[in-house]
């Protein structure tokens, strides 16, 4: 089941409170300002700063910390 569009409107980066961009096939939510990706696991966004993955590592295929 895809993420509900209303949920995407209210989610914000927990660090900077900025907007997030949905990546790929709903694999993660990217914060362009902080240059991190919050993974989506089992259709649930993991919005913990400790779980965020640097955007450059995400682009290299890293999906876990």
Q: How buried is 56 (Cβ within 10 angstroms: 0-12 exposed, 13-18 middle, 19+ buried)?
A: exposed
Quote the pTM value. 0.91
**pLDDT, tens digit (0-9, with 9 covering 90-100), for 17-56:** 999 999 988 999 999 999 999 999 998 999 999 999 999 9
pLDDT reported for residue 43: 87
pLDDT reported for residue 47: 96
Residues 40 and 46: beta-carbon distance below 8 Å? yes
Residues 52 and 37: beta-carbon distance below 8 Å? yes
Task: Find out if CATH 2.20.25.10 is the number for domain 5-59.
Answer: yes
* H or E stretch at 59: helix 55-59
All structural domains of the chain with their residue ranges: 5-59
């Amino acid at each position: 089941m895809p993420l509900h569009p209303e949920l995407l409107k209210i989610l914000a980066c927990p660090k900077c409170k900025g907007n997030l961009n949905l990546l790929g096939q709903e694999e993660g939510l990217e914060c362009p300002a902080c240059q991190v990706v919050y993974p989506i696991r089992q259709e649930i966004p993991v919005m913990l700063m400790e779980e965020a993955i640097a955007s450059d590592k995400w682009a290299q295929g890293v999906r876990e910390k």
